[in-house]
Structure 1
Amino acid sequence: MINYILQVILYQVLFLMIYDFFLSKETFFTKNRWYLLLTPILSFIIPLIKIPTFQKAVSQDFIIQLPEIVLSPEKVIQNSFEPQNIETSVNYINILFWLGVVVFLILFLVKLIKIINLIRSNEIIRKSDFKLILIPKQRKAFSFFNYIFLGKEIKDNQKEKVIQHELVHSKQKHTLDLLFFEILKIVMWFNPMLYFYQKRITLVHEYISDAEVAKLASKEQYINNLLSNFFQVENIGFVNQFYKSSFVKRRVLMITKKQSKQINQFKYLLLIPVLVFMFFYSSCSSSKSQFEKRTITHYRIADGKLFSYKGDKETYFDSYFGVDPKGLLEEIPFDELPEEIKEQEYAKFRSFRKKFNGNLSFSNMLKFDKFFKTPDGRIARGSIGNNFTSIHPDKLGDELLFIRLSKRPTFPGCEEGDSECFLEKLDQHFFNNFDKTILTDLELDTKKVKVLVDFNINTNGFVEDIDVKAPNKIIGEEAIKVIAALPKMTGGEKYGKPIKANYKLPFTILIE
C-alpha cells in the first residue's frame, strides 16, 4: 500500500509540473479545468494497471527441482508451542491514518453545517436560476451550487458584477470540482499535492468567471471594480469566492492577456510521453503491494544453485523449503512484510490458536513460517534447516514427499511410483541394518536417539552425497553405513528427464 501511495503522489507531482510549466499561463481555461480534474484520477488508476509483458524464459535447469521428503513425530511441533500470552500487534500507522480521516471528515462537516446555517438564518431571494442569500453586516461574496451569498454591505453598483461572476460558478458546477478535492483530502489527508491541486483549480474557476463577465463590459471597468473592492473571505474550502487577495494579481494579468494561439494546444500532447513513462514504471516496478493470487512457483536449492518450477495452485505466496539459502533468497523479517501479508498471517494465527486451545503464541508460529524475497520480487513462505522435522509422516501427501514427480524413485520390490511402499522400505532398511549394540557403551541421557539423514538418489538410482546429523560421531558413522548399503533403485524423472532426488529422513531409535 505504501508503494502505491508513493506512486500516486509521484504521478501527481509530474502532472502538476507539466501544468505549472506549460499550461497554467495559457487561456485554455476549460481545458485546464478538465486537466486538473482528470490527472489526479489518473494518478490513482495508473499504478493499478499492469501492462502484460513477456515472461522471462526459464532454462531447463530451473524446471528440474530437487524434491525433499520429511518424517518425524507429530509431538515435535506440539511441544514447541509452549503456552504463552497472546501477543497483540498494534498497527500505529493504520490508527494514525483513520484518525486523520476522522479529523478531516469532521472539519468538512463543520464547514458544510456552516453553509447550511447561513442558508437557514438569512434572507433568501429566489431567482429563476439561482437563490440569493443576503448576509447582513457582511461584505462576503461567494457561491455554493446554485446559492449565491452576498453581503448587504457591498455597494449597490458593484453587486450586479459580483452576482454575474458567481453565477458563472454556479452554472458551470464549479462547486462539484471543489467538493471532489475535499473528499480526496479526507481520504488522503496526508497528501500535500491535493492541496496544490485545489488551489490551482480554484484559480482556474476565477479565470473562467472573469472571462465570461468581462465580455459583458469593458475589461478596464471590470478590473477597476476588482481592484477597488475588498471583500471578506469566507474560510470554507469548497465555496467559490469572488475576492481572494492572493489571486487578484494573477486574475488581472490573465484578463489582460491575449488569447492563446490555437497551436499552443499541442502542449497537452506532452501528456503522452509522461503517461507512457507512468505505465512503464507501474508495470515494471517490483512492488510488495502487488499482492494477488497467481500460479505458485516452488523454489529449491541444490548444489549451491537455486532451482524453480511452476506448480498448479493459485496462491498468494511462492514456496521455499530446504537448507539455508545462503544469500540466494533474501529472508524478510515479519515486520517488513506488506500489510496485506501480515493480515493473512494474523488470520492464520487466530485459526491455529483455536486448534491448540489457546496455547499458541504468534512469535512461536513464526519460528516455523519464514518468509523470503524471490528473484521476481514476490514473497515465498517456507522453512529452512531442521524445521523439516516438524511434520508428521501421516500428514504428508505426495506433493510434499515427491513434489509431483512425473516418475518417482522406486525401491526394489515396490510398484512403480508407490511412495508409501518406498517410505516403508527405507524405514525397515534403516532399523534392520542399524547396529544398536553400539549404543550400549554410550552414556546417553535419553531413551530416544534422533538421527537426521540427508542423502541423494542420483539419476542411475544409486545413493550418494550422504550427510548425517546425530548425537555423536559413532552414531553418525553407523547411520552413514546403513544408508550407503541401500540397494540400487529406479531413479526419478521430472518432465521426462532424469533428476537427482534429495531426501531428509529423521529416524528415531528407541533404546530399551
Structure 2
Amino acid sequence: MINYIIQVVLFQVLFVAVYDFFLSKETFFNKNRWYLLSTALLSFVLPLFKISTVQKAVPQEYYTLLPEVVLSPQKVIEAAVWYQSINYLDVLFWSGCILFLIVFSVKLERIIRLVLRYGTTRKDNYKLILLPKETKAFSFFNYIFLGNDIPSQKREKIIQHELVHSEEKHTIDLLFFEFLKIVMWFNPMVYVYQNRISLVHEYISDAVASKSDKKENYINHLLADIFQVEHISFINQFYKHSLIKKRIIMMTKTQSKKVRQLKYLLLIPLLGSMILYTACSSEEVKMNKVEKQPVTVYKSEDGKIVKKPSTGYQSKYLDLFLGKELPNTKEYSIDELTEEEKGEYLALLNGFNKEGMPQLNIRVFEAENGRKMVAFDFMGKNENQEKTNYQDSEEVPFSMMDKVPTFPGCVEGDKTCFNRSLQEFVQENFDTSIANGLGLDSGKKRLYVRFKIDKKGNVTDIKVRAPHPTLKLHVEELAQKLPQMQPGEKDGKIVATGFVLPITFNVE
C-alpha cells in the first residue's frame, strides 16, 4: 500500500510539472481543465496497470529456496501490553480522514445555513441568494451568492461570470478534489491540483464573461474595489485577491496558436514511461486466498494434460503433476504463491532435498479453477537441456552449480555448512523484539528474503516480503550485514546465483 501511495504522489508531481512548465501559460483553458482532472485520476489508476508482455521480456532470474529458519519461541516477542499492539500509522491515517471529513462537513453546513437563513430568489437558470451587509460574491452549483453591499452596476457582470461556473459544473471539479483531500489528506499534490484547477475555472469564466464588454471595462470591475472573500475551498469566488493578477494577465494575453496544442502530446511519452515503470516494478502481486481441497493428480498423455483419479492424498493447497515432461501451462515464481502455498511448497522441497538423495527442482504451474500444481524436475537429467539453459548465463541455479558459494569458515563448496551458517547468522542477528507494537495478530508469521551472491561474493539485490514495513526494513539491514563469500562456479567459471530464505517466528 505504501508503494502504491508513493507512486500516486510521484505521478501527480510529474503531471503537474508538465502542466506548469508547458501548458499553464496557454489559453486552452478547457483543455487544461480536463488535463488536470484526467491526470489526477490517472495517477491512481496507473500504479495498478501491469503489462504481462513487458514483464515476460525481463530476463529470467533463478532463485533457490533455502531451508526455513525457525526462530525459537524463547527468542520471540513477549506478550505486548495494550498500547504496544496499536498500529499507530492506521490510527494517524483514520484520524486525519475523520478530521478532514469534519472540516468539509462544517464548510458545507455554512453554505446550507446561508441558503436557509436568507432564502433564494429563483431566476431562469440559477438561484440568487443576497447576503445582507456583505460584499462577498461566489457560487456553488447553480446557487449564486451576492453581498447586498455590492453596487448594482457591478452585479450583472458578477452574475455573468458566476453563471459560467454554474453551467460548466465547476463545483463538481472542486468537490472531487475535496473528497481526495479527505482520503489523502497527507498528499500535498491534492492541494496543488485544487489550486491549479480553481485558477483555470476563473480563466474560463473570465473568457466568456468578458466577451459581452470591452476587456478594459471588465478588468476595471475587478480592480475597482476590495471585496470580502469566503474561505471555502470548494466554491467559485469572483473576488479572490491572490488570483486577480493572474486573471488579468491571462485576459490580456494573446490567444495561443492552435499549433501549440501539440504540447498535449507530451502526455504520450510520459504515460508510456509511467506504464513501463509500473509494469516492471517489483511490488508484490496481490494474491487471492486459497483453501485446502482434495488433491487432483495431473498427467501428460499425447501432449495433453489429463486428470487422474487420486486416492490416499490429504487435502492440500497445491495439486500434483506427474509426468516425464513438464506441463506447458503458466509457471509461477515463489513470490506469486500465497503464504499457505509457500509453506506447503517449502515442506515438500525440504522433505525431498536431503543429504544423499537425488536433487530435485520442484516447480509450480497453473492448474484448473485457480489452483496450482507442483511438478518434479530432476536436475541434471538432461545434459543438453542444461547446456542450453545455463552454458552462457552469468547466473546459475544453486543446484546446477559444480561448486556452490562458500560461507566464511566453511569448507569450500560445503552446501550443508552454507545452509547451517546462514541459519545461525539469522538467529543471532534477527531482533524479534522489534515486532512489539506493530499491531500484528498473534500466531506464526513468515517473511521471505530474496538476495543474490554475485560473482565477487557480495550479497546484492536484496528484496524482502514481510507482514509489516518495520520488519521489512530490519531484515533488509540484516541481509546487508551478511559477510562476503566465496562465489560459486559452473563449468570452471565464476557465476552468480540467487536465493530465497524463509524466516518463521511466532507472535504471541
TM-score bucket of the superposed structures, by smaller chain: 0.5 to 0.7
Aligned: 1:292 with 2:292: no
Corresponding position of 2:270? 274
Alignment of 1:292-311 (within 5 A): 292-293=287-288, 294-295=336-337, 309-311=362-364
Corresponding position of 1:100? 96
Task: String of CA shifts for 1:351-393, please: whole Å, max 9, x gaps.
Answer: x6xxxxxxxxxxxx45xx4542366946389xxxxxxxxxxxx
CA distance in 2, matches of 1:28, 1:140: 29
Corresponding position of 2:157? 161
TM-score normalized by the length of structure 1: 0.59
Identity %: 49
Task: String of CA shifts for 1:207-230, please: whole Å, max 9, x gaps.
Answer: 000000111111111011111122
User: 1:332–1:373: 8 Å Cα contact kept in structure 2?
Assistant: no
Corresponding position of 1:110? 106
1:123 deviation in Å?
A: 3.6
Cα 1:267–1:79 change in 2 (3 A) is closer
Alignment of 1:185-200 (within 5 A): 185-200=181-196
Corresponding position of 2:7? 7
1:335 deviation in Å?
A: 9.2
User: 1:62–1:307: 8 Å Cα contact kept in structure 2?
Assistant: no
Corresponding position of 1:172? 168
CA distance in 2, matches of 1:184, 1:230: 32
128, 132, 136: which is aligned to 1:132? 128
Q: Give the aligned residue type for 2:33.
A: R
Task: String of CA shifts for 1:132-184, please: whole Å, max 9, x gaps.
Answer: 00000000000000000000000010000000000100011000000000000
TM-score normalized by the length of structure 2: 0.60
Alignment of 1:20-59 (within 5 A): 20-52=20-52, 53-54=55-56
User: 2:162–2:205: 8 Å Cα contact kept in structure 1?
Assistant: yes
Cα 1:58–1:211 change in 2 (3 A) is closer
Corresponding position of 1:372? 449
1:336 deviation in Å?
A: 9.1
Q: Give the aligned residue type for 2:227.
A: F
Task: String of CA shifts for 1:372-418, please: whole Å, max 9, x gaps.
Answer: 2366946389xxxxxxxxxxxxxxxxxxxxxxxxxxxxxxxxxxxxx
Alignment of 1:81-480 (within 5 A): 89-287=85-283, 290-293=285-288, 294-295=336-337, 309-311=362-364, 323-325=420-422, 346=441, 349=442, 365=444, 369=446, 371-373=448-450, 377=463, 379=465
Instruction: Give 3-state SS (helix, strand or coil) of 1:310's partner.
Output: strand
1:310 deviation in Å?
A: 2.7
User: 1:206–1:251: 8 Å Cα contact kept in structure 2?
Assistant: yes
Instruction: Give 3-state SS (helix, strand or coil) of 1:54's partner.
Output: helix
Q: Give the aligned residue type for 1:30.
A: N
Instruction: Give 3-state SS (helix, strand or coil) of 1:246's partner.
Output: helix
Cα 1:131–1:372 change in 2 (3 A) is same
Cα 1:160–1:80 change in 2 (3 A) is closer
Instruction: Give 3-state SS (helix, strand or coil) of 1:215's partner.
Output: helix
RMSD (Å), alpha carbons: 4.1
Q: Which runs of 5+ in 1 are unaligned?
A: 71-75, 353-364, 382-512
> Which range moves more in the overlay, 278-287 or 245-254?
278-287
Cα 1:373–1:199 change in 2 (3 A) is same
User: 1:374–1:380: 8 Å Cα contact kept in structure 2?
Assistant: no
Q: Give the aligned residue type for 2:21.
A: F
Cα 1:26–1:380 change in 2 (3 A) is closer
User: 2:77–2:432: 8 Å Cα contact kept in structure 1?
Assistant: no
Cα 1:49–1:370 change in 2 (3 A) is closer
Corresponding position of 2:413? none
Q: How many residues align?
A: 345
CA distance in 2, matches of 1:336, 1:371: 17
Task: String of CA shifts for 1:77-99, please: whole Å, max 9, x gaps.
Answer: 99999996777521111100000
Q: Give the aligned residue type for 2:5.
A: I
User: 1:130–1:146: 8 Å Cα contact kept in structure 2?
Assistant: yes
Task: String of CA shifts for 1:50-100, please: whole Å, max 9, x gaps.
Answer: 1212166658x978x8999x9xxxxx9999999967775211111000000
CA distance in 2, matches of 1:14, 1:249: 26
Instruction: Give 3-state SS (helix, strand or coil) of 1:235's partner.
Output: coil
Task: String of CA shifts for 1:407-456, please: whole Å, max 9, x gaps.
Answer: xxxxxxxxxxxxxxxxxxxxxxxxxxxxxxxxxxxxxxxxxxxxxxxxxx
1:276 deviation in Å?
A: 1.2
1:285 deviation in Å?
A: 2.0
1:29 deviation in Å?
A: 0.3
Instruction: Give 3-state SS (helix, strand or coil) of 2:239's partner.
Output: coil
1:185 deviation in Å?
A: 0.3
CA distance in 2, matches of 1:379, 1:82: 20
1:315 deviation in Å?
A: 9.7
Structure possessing the higher radius of gyration over alpha carbons: 1
Cα 1:275–1:333 change in 2 (3 A) is farther
CA distance in 1, matches of 2:233, 2:188: 15
CA distance in 1, matches of 2:432, 2:48: 25
